[in-house]
Amino acid sequence: MEGIEQVELTGPWKALEDAGWEPVLVAPDRGDVQAFEHLDRADRFPVDRTVADVAVEDFAGLVLPGGVANPDALRTDAAAVDLVRGFVQGGAPVAAICHAIWMLVEADAVRDRTLTSWPSLQTDVRNAGGTWVDQEVVTDGSLVTSRKPDDLPAFNAAMLDVLGAVG
């Protein structure tokens, strides 16, 4: 995969590790994922497991980093969308930031939910039956969403709160 906003991967990853969780990088294919700092290539990160090799039951929750290219490509991968849908339908904690909300839209997971995202996705959220609000973080049951990298402190705190309820 390519196009993950690096700080939206590394910020939550560090917050999870600091809280005693063991994050796992899951992607459609083996190898590495390419992160970006906005439009510039940044670091590469090794994939721990593929979507085909995991199940919802393997994890306490799911964190979806943003970046424009990554969620836009990922939402065309039926297995990845099914995995996200499984987390949401099972009531597992799901935290998504920025453009990662596209995965929730594709998984039909925003209907009758309140969430936030990068502002350009608000029409997508509304068209999918959700309520979009402009706040740094929104928690709706086990779903945590944020708008952008500047929201990471609030996003990480809310993500850890929701995970703590199951952990």
Mean pLDDT of 120-129: 98
pLDDT over 70 (residue 1): no
> What are residue 145's phi and psi, to 5 degrees?
-135, 150
More confident residue, 50 or 39: 50
Pairing of strands 40-46, 32-37: antiparallel
- Check residue 2 and give its pLDDT: 78
The CA angle 47-48-49, to the nearest 5 degrees, is 100
Question: pLDDT digits over 75-122, tens only?
Answer: 999 999 999 999 999 999 999 999 999 999 999 999 999 999 999 999
**Candidate list 12, 26, 99, 158, residue with the active-site label:** 99
Give catalytic status of residue 80 as yes or no: no
What whole-number percentage of the chain has pLDDT above 90? Answer: 92
Residue 16's nearest CA partner among 61, 51, 49, 55 is: 61
**Candidate list 4, 98, 105, 152, residue with the active-site label:** 98
pLDDT over 80 (residue 12): yes
Give catalytic status of residue 99 as yes or no: yes
Spell out the residues 6+ positions from residue 71 whose beta carbon is closer than 8 angstroms to its own.
64, 99, 100, 101, 102, 103
- The pTM (predicted TM-score) of the whole model is 0.96
**Mean confidence (pLDDT) of the chain:** 96
Alpha-carbon span 137 to 48, nearest angstrom: 28
Residue 8's nearest CA partner among 48, 43, 32, 60 is: 43
pLDDT over 80 (residue 26): yes
- Check residue 151 and give its pLDDT: 98
- Check residue 38 and give its pLDDT: 87
- Check residue 117 and give its pLDDT: 98
Q: Where are the beta strands (DSSP E) in the chain?
A: 2-5, 26-27, 32-37, 40-46, 49-50, 62-64, 94-97, 114-115, 131-132, 137-140, 143-146
pLDDT over 90 (residue 165): no
CATH topology of domain 2-166: Rossmann fold (3.40.50)
Would you list the domain boundaries of the chain?
2-166
Q: What DSSP assignment string belongs to 81-105?
A: HHHHHHHHHTT--EEEEGGGHHHHH
